[in-house]
A = this chain, B = another copy of it.
């Protein structure tokens, strides 16, 4: 899960650890802030597995915004060091995704055979990166989630009827609220599925039919150029 988020972020631009954490918090903020204690080991693992390459960039260019994509920095680095906006600080380790990393990302993203891969958090994260998924995989993701929510709704309903006597008011309120939330989640998914199937695109920007190949082959991977 953390791996997926990291690879997704790094698919768009190279970043160093500290910055990755900020993005995770600020942009993918819908899941709780990651601690360094899990982030750095995750980066090491990914590097060892060949998904990432790191460049020890001792000092960088960007003033507050660390990277702006262009890393012509190397030359300008020393120059900008003690200058205007140059915030050299300590030698950052800038990570860049590899082809292998893109492969792993794709695999994690459509974790078809990943059993526990459909809890709310994991699903939210996947969906947030759904643009990198081919349309059919996207649909499968949504439908898997839908089935799971239906199951859950069933369990909850069963729970409230099963109880000896009836539940006390507080417990009942919890169960009812859980059921309602689940229902709303389901109809959200239903809307997404409908949008996915419609040629129009209620989820705007989700390309209708043509050019499913702008993410072909390698996810993203050009998403930068243009």
Tell me the minimal C-beta distance from A33 to chain B in angstroms: 9
The reply to whether the CB of A158 lies closer than 8 angstroms to some CB of chain B is yes
How far is it, in angstroms, between the C-alpha of A24 and the C-alpha of B129 when the chains are bound? 35
Q: Which of A39-47, A55-63, A96-104, A177-185 contacts B (4 or more CB under 8 A)?
A: A177-185
Interface residue from B128, B168, B181 paired with A131 (Cβ < 8 Å): B168
State the copy count for this chain. 2
Cβ–Cβ < 8 Å partners of A203 in chain B? 169-170, 173
Residues of chain A at the chain B interface (Cβ within 8 Å):
26-30, 124, 127-131, 155-156, 158-159, 162-163, 167-171, 173-175, 177-178, 180-181, 184-185, 188, 192, 203-206
A-B contact pairs, 14 of them (CB 8 A): A29-B158, A30-B175, A124-B174, A124-B178, A127-B170, A128-B174, A131-B168, A169-B205, A169-B206, A170-B206, A173-B203, A177-B188, A181-B181, A184-B184
